[in-house]
Amino acid sequence: MNKSCYDCLHKCKKKEKLFQKKQYALDWLANIQSPFEYQKYDIIEIKFKNDRKEFFLNQEKIPLSQGDIVTVEPKSGNTGYDIGVVYLTGELVKLQTRNKIINSNTLKKVYRKSTYKEINIWKFLKKKEPSTLLKAKKIAKNLNLYMKICDVEYQGDGEKAIFYYTAENRIDFRKLIKEFSLHFHIRIEMRQIGYRQEAAKIGGIGSCGRELCCSTWLKTFKSVTTNSARYQQLSINIQKLTGQCSKLKCCLNYELDAYLDAIKNFPDFNSKIHTEKGIAKCMKIDIFKKEMWFSYIKRPNTWFKIKVKKIKEILEKNKITPSLEELSTINTIQKTELTFKDLSI
């Protein structure tokens, strides 16, 4: 082997190791010895295709570490086996399951560490999935079904395939499953997923220029509403607020709690203040500077910047009698036209 080829191969292997490390969570308890070493936690988390993760029971006390390929009991049915990669073990799994109701009697079991033959079959089936997906899409199109098949996942032994799809209406699968069985000669399972899950499986680049959160690290989907944008004073522009899944972006919830805590100290946005020159209403707020912008109803183009503390005092006075205090004209915004001068002379 040439020296250049050896260096290239060494770099490729290094890149592959780095890529594999990115797929796993940081086990920050790995180097910490548990005081209950004689009672190791038997539940482990195993990762399958497209970051699908499930908990399994290590009943046989098999010594496993992060990254090991294991043969486990299939999710549905009692025939065959499935293959996955160990994602988390030990005390960190206990922390993950603390807020989840998990009954160890209903958990599927880990059979063994996968043999060389089982791993080869598993890798062969993974290479086969893209061509199976293309054929499945053509069959669904020929049957005029209003659905989108977005992913295929083979069981570890190749006895069954799960077809993930999205659809707005209910689909009649009777003809489709017959066609799939004739072409692929395996047991078929159709599983409907949402548009967010579809984006997580396919992946892509978001408007921020980074990979989609749902396809990299975000594993739990919380409902996102337009109220999340309103609380953060964002304009309701659907084109900017929606992601590649045509749903509201998940990142709208990231800073929502900070905004909600800050808004608690603000008066009601719909409240109006009475002054000598008339009634003024709130036009805009600045949460972090704790300021509110008011304008007279009769003169909406002129805005007055007032501190939240001052607004509260004015509202307290308005409860007794309408205040005769004028709004300060120091910090104002007026609608004016820009003029330019020739400074070349």
Q: Which domains does the chain have, with CATH numbers?
A: 19-114 (no CATH), 120-193 (3.30.300), 211-261 (no CATH), 272-333 (no CATH)
- Name the residue with tokens 């992601």: 243
Residue with tokens 């003169």: 299
Give which of 84, 93, 77 is closest to 112, Cα–Cα. Answer: 84
Q: Give the Cα separation of 155 and 8 in Å (integer).
A: 34
Nearest Cα to Cα of residue 126 among 136, 114, 115, 118: 118
- How far apart (Å, rounded) are the C-alpha atoms in residues 61 and 39? 11
158 contacts: CB under 8 Å, gap ≥ 6: 121, 125, 186
| Confidence (pLDDT) at 39 | 59
Crossing angle of the two packed helices 116-142 and 174-184, in degrees rounded to 10: 130
C-alpha 30/C-alpha 65 separation (Å) is 10
Which residues of the chain fall short of a pLDDT of 50? 1-22, 38, 323, 330, 334-345
Residue 217 to residue 23: CA distance in whole angstroms: 9
Quote the pLDDT of residue 7.
45
